[in-house]
Amino acid sequence: MTGAETVVQILADEGVGVVFGYSGGAILPTYDAIFRYNRENGSEGAIDPMQLIVPANEQAAGFMAAGYSRASGKVGVCLVTSGPGATNTVTPVRDCMADSIPMVVICGQVPTGAVGTDAFQEAPISSIMGAAAKHVFLVTDPKKLEATVRTAFEIARTGRPGPVVVDIPKDVQNWSGPFDGQTTLPIPGYRARLKAVQDNLVSDDAAANFHEMLRQSKRPLIYAGGGVIHGGAAESLRRFSETFGIPVTTTLMGIGAVDTTDPLCLQMLGMHGTAFANYATDDCDFLIAVGARFDDRVAGVPGKFARGAKWIAHLDVDASEINKVKRVHWHHVGELVPALDKLFAHAREQGFDPRKDGSYADWHAHIADLKKTYAMNYERGGEHIQPHAVIEAINRITKGEAIVATGVGQHQMWAAQYFDFKQPRLWLTSGSMGTMGFGLPAAIGAQFAHPDRIVIDIDGDASIRMNMGELETATTYNTPVKIVVLNNYGDGMVKQWQRLFFESRFSGSDKSLHRKDFVKAAEADGYAFAKRVDNKDDLDRVVREFVEFDGPAFLEVIIDPMASVYPMVGPGMAYEQMITGDWIPSRNAVTREKVDPTSTQMF
């Protein structure tokens, strides 16, 4: 096989059915190999066995691959050319690294002999991507191409998942040689570390120590992160929580790990988490962190986080996360499913049954009271459409079963707060990086992962314009993605911070495209359903038409430009200082105090 054919055959062997990418000179041999593979392996009238989806921009290709991965759990694949094609994928690569998303990016590169000469469309991808990706390969020996690409998939999906970049010079793609079908690179150090984590099971003594803390606890709380979803541990976590009656709160990335409609679910905690989740975190006496990393959006002031906890336990697959931010009393580094199952089995063996003996009755009553007293709420009167109402209208139809992608900003937080998610991998958002422009391409990628599911992009007027060219990608491939733009004419989250902390000096944040007619833009890109709602009385009717439309649909909703995201834990603040706004009570009567932006992290 040629090198290009080798790459395509490995993609097929890995079960890759969709590739997202943009062509160019240095990657043309591989694009041609995909064309020939589909012609040789497809049947007339059927979908190509390896679909090649072409976006408007390589950044969007990376986010499509990420959306595909987040929704399916499989490794997403992005195929781009050299130079600007590859550098355009730096942001999605870093985004995947920050959120532990498995992706393989295959880049074309100038011929081996031209590397380092500043050849046309050359960029030092190994150096550029080295700090952003889980691993980077530059293939200079064509005999190692097969092993390298196969190993890239292994590294991307194993351990703590992440993006792997493979930079392949054009002459390596054109080279011909034998295809082995099974070779991998010798990476003994990585595999040894991986095996150590896989083999590290919870010992009987460790389980007994954990159980003793749980037995003594009167107010236990599970704090679940994205690792639960990446590790396929949602079922084990739910069984543990439901059997023993332990409430659960999740991070932004952990949404869906437990059913958000379950009485034991406190939804999201943190900077824009529910007030009742944050108060419960303060009130618990035993915090059990599972696949979470105590990041600054959750534990903004580590010394005051979970301030009432006598014990903190931490289960994670990555040893570097243990005691990195918050000191814990018990920890386990290993795969989450066997760890949770061991702790569950040990507790059952000890006859632990708090639901039967009523050990947590007072705690459950306290949780129920928190959820009732400090329930999510917003202004329901007035003439403006509130963004929360838009989310609720969609949620009444989709009932927690839709795949929801978002951009980044206020709309992202409103979606996290007001949508229901009954299963994992229904919530797709850029967490750690907070990348505007993520929502639309991620939704398209998710739609290819699940062609028969309802996929909705909740976006903002500022966020969507960063990758607005992908509106046409959705119609080109007739993907029935449903796109909502909550238009408040500006960078809403930035303006909220400026109102709270900078005396309403809207420096650079009121720069949205005020003259932009989103509906006409969508119509120009082929949307048969493209509507705008600016009257509250029309909202429910149009939302139902929008969701039920058969095909790509676009909906712009003109929302209250002063709507804010509450609750909010400001930078450098503890949960007791949480700002709840005008419509959610606060048990500490916190005022909207000013914060010195020079002494804290802005976002």
Annotated catalytic residues are 58, 120-121, 170, 493
Say how many C-beta atoms besides its own lie within 10 A of residue 180's C-beta: 12
The DSSP call for residue 484 is E
Q: In what helix (H) or strand (E) does residue 51 lie, and over which residues does it extend? A: strand 51-53
Radius of gyration of the chain (CA): 25
Find, among 234, 239, 195, the residue nearest to 333 by Cα.
195
For residue 567, say if its preceding peptide bond is cis, omega within 30 degrees of 0: yes
Task: Please give the Cα distance from 165 to 425 (Å, whole number).
Answer: 24
* Contact between 403 and 71 (Cβ < 8 Å): yes
Find, among 174, 185, 125, the residue nearest to 150 by Cα.
185
Angle (nearest 5°) at CA 396 between 393 and 400: 120
Say how many C-beta atoms besides its own lie within 10 A of residue 399's C-beta: 10
Which pairs count as long-range contacts for 174-178, CB under 8 Å and 24+ apart, including other chains?
A: 174/2, 174/3, 174/4, 174/29, 175/2, 175/3, 175/142, 175/145, 176/1, 176/2, 176/3, 177/1, 177/3, 177/142, 177/143, 178/1
DSSP string, 527-557: -SEEEEE--GGGHHHHHHHHHH-SS-EEEEE
β-strand partners of 248: 222, 265
The torsion angles phi and psi of 510, rounded to 5 degrees, stand at -100, 45
* Contact between 460 and 434 (Cβ < 8 Å): no
Task: Please give the Cα distance from 176 to 160 (Å, whole number).
Answer: 35
- Phi-psi map region of 126: left, alpha, beta (phi>0 left; psi -120 to 50 alpha): alpha
Task: Please give the Cα distance from 229 to 424 (Å, whole number).
Answer: 6
Task: Please give the Cα distance from 565 to 460 (Å, whole number).
Answer: 14
- Determine the 3-state secondary structure of 407 from DSSP: coil
Strand segments (E) across 299-400:
311-316, 330-333
Query: Tokens representing 557?
Result: 């909703």
Sheet holding 51-53, edge to edge: 51-53, 18-22, 76-80, 103-109, 163-169, 135-138
Could you give the C-alpha distances from 529 to 281, 348, 499, in angstroms and in order? 44, 54, 36
Query: Tokens representing 63?
Result: 């986010």
* Contact between 568 and 272 (Cβ < 8 Å): yes
